[in-house]
């Protein structure tokens, strides 16, 4: 036994040095015709790296290494089609180590598998190649959405694809296209926010960035839009707890970003781990086949989320045993099972086919999609490109892009008496949990799954406090790094002109990221309160993954700069924004609640505005969707429409004049909203119809034009189809309104 393991290792490692081209892409159908049932089912199986690594699952040997016997069994006995992740949530590895591990897998597959079908590796590269040491860690998606700049977001996703494929991985479990309608949810920061249109535009940008024009190119990866569908609104706010979403809302609020990504050619999709209306999505044929395939037209690969077939038995309790769970999810429409820790899926699915409960044709349709994915990614020819193709990994170019994205996301929500920007010789006291931390700027999915391991926080020169000292001058910046108690901190703060408090959230995602209360954690409330007592101007910098309630703190502070989770360049961007080297231009991609129980979104209905005194004043968020200030001023002059009455096939051109009346160059996001005055389904009081971010120099004036069609005001009707009804629609930009009549 020992000897054979040794020989096998030797063989594997001999082949691991380089990964030669395997073969020209086959005709997928003729390949399927040559495959045994077990080989087909193997293609539908995805295992975690831990299953083929040395040690036991979740107790792997470190540094991680492949176990050649386990790998050989996975290939020869189970014919696995895919491997994912980092091995039971363990930390990141160097690019070289990744390449080494992946080449060993490819080499073993080439040598041991009968048909030599490449194994596809998938990973969560959520804000950059976060599981590769030294990679560029970009702002989390919520910050990217706040840029309202789709071209910039596309470039960020392209760089993320580049650094992911540099480590050998051609499949990225990103972007998250869940619309975050529940601010308590632990994965709020992973989304593009709460608005359907903004999420959809960002979805398109993300897919374009990840897949490029040719997903087989060395710098592209396959996108995996997730988590289909309705994951972003768990009723309790806790991850993977039930959502209750009527079919109409499912289509109106949650499907559009997926539709946008599908239209852009997104190659794969991951299924929502939760249940909607009592039915786990992994067992829901209406959603996974009816809605996804027939209505939205998705032709790519649908992979399960982590262990979700097992969860149909253990968590959701809709299947009496694993075999029935496999039956349910394959019948519902799943293509690949992220099994990920055992091979029971393979055995049980084969039994189901032999018993005639699942047809081999059904298996073939999934295998065809998986093989097409591998073909389109060029994996048959090149399972992994040369390391030399990746000179820009973590390059200065990517660092600069990272800085640009972080800078563009920063959202100035309050700036009383122009307390910001800081003046050159002002003495600043900077404190708070995010002031000295990199992992609080990055959040989860940063070197480790939860992002809490501070040993990965190696960039002391890039914290907010360090960067502020560099910009403002070390003589003028004091910080709380040496303070052991609040009294000492207050003494130091007394000597300053202004106080910057960097608030934060503990990193966390999925179930470990659940919290019970949106309120700012008590110690941070006390810190703000104590420092406010000094009577000096207070500037809050909020590094939050979700809108923690800051009603009292914002009221007693002079400025609020919302930074989201801005990534490795966040400290530099924040310091530059505080000191006025950059002019903030981010806009909120969600409605910021005033209290922990207030979840009314900007696109609410009129009934949600009725206050206890029956006035229409109940909608009073802390900060509105789309809010964001600048160090300059923008003035809107007119909103002109080309026509006030249009037919269903017509279009209307809207022209908006906006000028920079301040003294600094700045970027303004022109936001066009609409309100359907009467509709058969209660309309929202306001909905985003279009937006454009423009740059204006002081004194300059710009004209932005939007072309809209009645279909832009369509809504999902009672029949679950998009409907356009005649009537009056009010368009709004800034304080201007214009009515148009749809005939």
Extended strands (E) in 677-718:
687-696, 701-708, 715-716
| Nearest partner of 428 among 539, 505, 341, 304, judged by Cα | 539
Among the listed residues 85, 211, 268, 630, the single contact to ligand BGC using CB under 6 A:
85
Strands 666-676 and 120-123: unpaired
Q: Applying CB under 6 A, does 476 fall inside the site for ligand BGC?
A: no
Q: Applying CB under 6 A, does 512 fall inside the site for ligand BGC?
A: no
Strands 82-84 and 45-48: parallel
Shortest spacing between CB 213 and ligand BGC, in angstroms: 25
Q: What is the DSSP letter of 53?
A: B
Shortest spacing between CB 168 and ligand BGC, in angstroms: 17
Q: How far is CA 644 from CA 34, 659, 714, 735, 740, in A?
A: 63, 25, 18, 18, 4
Q: How far is CA 17 from CA 93, 96, 610, in A?
A: 18, 12, 69
Are 130 and 95 in contact, with CB atoms under 8 Å apart? no
Shortest spacing between CB 305 and ligand BGC, in angstroms: 5
- Helix, strand, coil shares of the chain, percent, nearest 5, are 35, 20, 45
Specify the residue, 315 or 419, whose C-beta has the smaller distance to ligand BGC. 315
Q: Is 734 a catalytic residue?
A: no
Shortest spacing between CB 85 and ligand BGC, in angstroms: 5
> In 556-686, which ranges are continuous DSSP H helix?
570-578
Strands 428-431 and 477-479: parallel
* Binders in 226-265 for ligand BGC, by CB under 6 A: 226
Q: Applying CB under 6 A, does 308 fall inside the site for ligand BGC?
A: no
Specify the residue, 273 or 632, whose C-beta has the smaller distance to ligand BGC. 273
Specify the residue, 226 or 323, whose C-beta has the smaller distance to ligand BGC. 226
Are 202 and 192 in contact, with CB atoms under 8 Å apart? yes
Cβ partners under 8 Å of residue 28, min gap 6: 368, 371, 372, 375
Catalytic residue of the set 305, 308, 576, 712 = 305
How far apart CA 83 and CA 340 sit, in angstroms, is 8
Specify the residue, 306 or 636, whose C-beta has the smaller distance to ligand BGC. 306
Tokens for 72, please give them. 């050989």
Cβ partners under 8 Å of residue 7, min gap 6: none
Tell me the DSSP string of 652-675.
Answer: EEEEEEEEE-SSS-EEEEEEEEEE
Among the listed residues 39, 124, 335, 568, the single contact to ligand BGC using CB under 6 A:
124
Specify the residue, 210 or 270, whose C-beta has the smaller distance to ligand BGC. 270
Specify the residue, 270 or 438, whose C-beta has the smaller distance to ligand BGC. 270
Among the listed residues 28, 265, 306, 698, the single contact to ligand BGC using CB under 6 A:
306
How many CA atoms are closer than 13 Å to the CA of 266, on its beta-carbon side?
A: 32
Judged by DSSP in three states, 82 sits in: strand
Taken in order 289, 291, 294, 298, the sign of the CA dihedral is: negative
How many CA atoms are closer than 13 Å to the CA of 652, on its beta-carbon side?
A: 27
How many residues at the interface with ligand BGC, by CB under 6 A? 9
Shortest spacing between CB 129 and ligand BGC, in angstroms: 14
Phi, psi of 514 (to 5 degrees): -65, 140
Q: Applying CB under 6 A, does 173 fall inside the site for ligand BGC?
A: yes
Number of H-type helices and E-type strands within the chain: 22, 28
Work out the angle at residue 712's Cα, subtended by the Cα atoms of residues 708 and 714, and round it to the nearest 5 degrees.
145
How far apart CA 172 and CA 207 sit, in angstroms, is 11
Judged by DSSP in three states, 302 sits in: strand
**What is the per-residue binding string for ligand BGC in 214-233, x denoting contact by CB under 6 A?**
------------x-------
Shortest spacing between CB 52 and ligand BGC, in angstroms: 16
Shortest spacing between CB 543 and ligand BGC, in angstroms: 22
Q: How far is CA 173 from CA 1, 74, 265, in A?
A: 38, 22, 15
Are 536 and 217 in contact, with CB atoms under 8 Å apart? no
Shortest spacing between CB 187 and ligand BGC, in angstroms: 8
Residue 288 gets the label, from left (phi > 0), alpha (psi -120 to 50) or beta, of alpha
Phi, psi of 102 (to 5 degrees): -65, -35
Shortest spacing between CB 57 and ligand BGC, in angstroms: 14
Are 714 and 723 in contact, with CB atoms under 8 Å apart? yes
Could you tell me the maximum CA-CA distance found in the chain, to the nearest angstrom? 83
Q: Applying CB under 6 A, does 572 fall inside the site for ligand BGC?
A: no
Are 469 and 148 in contact, with CB atoms under 8 Å apart? no
CB environment 613-630: b (16+ within 10 A), e (fewer): eeeeebbebbbbbbbbbb
Specify the residue, 82 or 104, whose C-beta has the smaller distance to ligand BGC. 82
Q: Applying CB under 6 A, does 510 fall inside the site for ligand BGC?
A: yes
Q: Applying CB under 6 A, does 305 fall inside the site for ligand BGC?
A: yes
Shortest spacing between CB 121 and ligand BGC, in angstroms: 12
Specify the residue, 60 or 563, whose C-beta has the smaller distance to ligand BGC. 60
Shortest spacing between CB 89 and ligand BGC, in angstroms: 8
How far apart CA 361 and CA 32 sit, in angstroms, is 11
Specify the residue, 508 or 710, whose C-beta has the smaller distance to ligand BGC. 508
Specify the residue, 124 or 568, whose C-beta has the smaller distance to ligand BGC. 124
Shortest spacing between CB 131 and ligand BGC, in angstroms: 10
* Binders in 394-453 for ligand BGC, by CB under 6 A: none
How far apart CA 226 and CA 178 sit, in angstroms, is 7
How far apart CA 533 and CA 332 sit, in angstroms, is 60
Shortest spacing between CB 272 and ligand BGC, in angstroms: 9
Residues near ligand BGC (CB under 6 A) are 85, 124, 173, 226, 270, 273, 305-306, 510
Q: Supply the residues annotated as catalytic.
A: 305
């Amino acid at each position: 036994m020992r000897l054979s393991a040794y020989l096998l290792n030797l063989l594997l490692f001999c082949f691991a040095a380089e990964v030669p081209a395997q073969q020209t892409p086959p005709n997928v159908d003729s390949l399927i015709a040559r495959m045994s049932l077990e080989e087909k089912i193997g293609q539908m199986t995805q295992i975690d790296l831990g299953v083929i690594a040395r040690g036991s699952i979740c107790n792997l040997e470190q540094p991680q290494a492949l176990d050649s016997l386990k790998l050989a069994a996975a290939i020869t006995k189970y014919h696995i089609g895919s491997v994912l992740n980092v091995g039971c949530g363990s930390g990141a590895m160097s690019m070289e180590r990744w390449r080494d591990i992946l080449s060993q897998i490819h080499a073993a597959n080439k040598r041991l598998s009968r048909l030599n079908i490449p194994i596809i590796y998938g990973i969560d590269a959520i804000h950059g190649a976060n599981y590769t040491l030294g990679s560029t860690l970009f702002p989390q998606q919520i910050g990217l959405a706040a840029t309202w700049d789709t071209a910039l977001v596309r470039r960020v996703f392209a760089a993320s694809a580049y650094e992911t494929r540099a480590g050998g991985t051609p499949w990225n479990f990103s972007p998250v296209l869940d619309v975050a309608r529940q601010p308590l949810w632990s994965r709020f920061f992973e989304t593009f926010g709460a608005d359907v249109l903004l999420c959809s535009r960002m979805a398109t940008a993300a897919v374009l960035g990840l897949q490029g024009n040719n997903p087989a190119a060395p710098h592209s990866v396959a996108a995996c839009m997730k988590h289909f569908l309705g994951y972003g609104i768990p009723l309790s706010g806790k991850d993977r707890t039930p959502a209750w979403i009527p079919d109409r809302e499912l289509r109106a609020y949650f499907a559009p970003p997926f539709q946008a990504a599908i239209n852009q050619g997104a190659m794969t999709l991951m299924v929502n781990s939760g249940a909607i209306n009592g039915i786990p999505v992994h067992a829901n044929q209406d959603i996974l086949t009816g809605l996804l395939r027939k209505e939205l037209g998705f032709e790519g690969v649908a992979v399960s989320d982590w262990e979700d077939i097992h969860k149909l038995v253990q968590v959701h309790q809709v299947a009496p045993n694993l075999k029935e769970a496999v039956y349910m999810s394959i019948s519902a429409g799943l293509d690949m099972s992220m099994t990920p820790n055992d091979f029971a899926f393979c055995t049980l699915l084969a039994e189901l086919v032999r018993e005639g409960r699942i047809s081999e044709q059904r298996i073939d349709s999934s295998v065809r999609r998986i093989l097409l994915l591998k073909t389109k990614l060029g994996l048959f020819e090149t399972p992994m490109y040369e390391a030399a193709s990746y000179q820009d990994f973590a390059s200065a170019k990517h660092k600069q892009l990272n800085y640009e994205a972080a800078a563009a996301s920063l959202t100035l929500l309050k700036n009383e008496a122009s307390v910001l920007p800081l003046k050159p010789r002002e003495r600043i006291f900077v404190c708070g949990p995010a002031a000295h931390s990199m992992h609080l700027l990055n959040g989860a999915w940063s070197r480790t799954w939860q992002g809490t391991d501070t040993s990965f926080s190696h960039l002391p020169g890039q914290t907010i406090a360090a960067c502020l000292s560099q910009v403002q001058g070390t003589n003028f910046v004091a910080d709380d790094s040496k303070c052991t108690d609040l009294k000492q901190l207050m003494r130091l703060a007394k000597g300053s002109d202004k106080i910057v408090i960097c608030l934060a959230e503990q990193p966390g995602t999925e179930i470990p990221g659940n919290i019970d209360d949106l309120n700012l954690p008590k110690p941070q409330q006390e810190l703000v309160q104590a420092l406010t007592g000094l009577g000096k101007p207070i500037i809050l910098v909020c590094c939050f993954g979700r809108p923690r309630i800051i009603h009292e703190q914002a009221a007693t502070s002079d400025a609020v700069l919302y930074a989201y989770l801005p990534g490795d360049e966040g400290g530099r961007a924040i310091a530059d924004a505080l000191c006025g080297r950059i002019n903030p231009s981010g806009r909120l991609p969600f409605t910021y609640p005033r209290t922990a129980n207030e979840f009314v979104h900007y696109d609410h209905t009129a009934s949600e505005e009725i206050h206890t005194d029956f006035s229409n004043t109940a909608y009073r968020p802390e900060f509105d969707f789309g809010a964001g200030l600048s160090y300059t001023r923008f003035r809107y002059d007119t909103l002109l429409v080309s026509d006030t009455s249009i037919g269903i096939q017509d279009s209307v051109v809207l022209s908006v004049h906006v000028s920079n009346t301040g003294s600094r160059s700045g970027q303004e996001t022109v936001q066009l909203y609409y309100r359907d005055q009467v509709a058969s389904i209660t309309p929202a009081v306001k909905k985003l119809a279009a937006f454009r971010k423009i740059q204006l120099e002081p004194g300059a004036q710009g004209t932005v034009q939007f072309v809209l069609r009645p279909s832009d005001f369509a809504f999902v009707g009672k029949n679950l189809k998009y409907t356009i009804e005649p009537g009056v629609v009010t368009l709004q930009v800034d304080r201007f309104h214009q009515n148009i009549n749809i005939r």
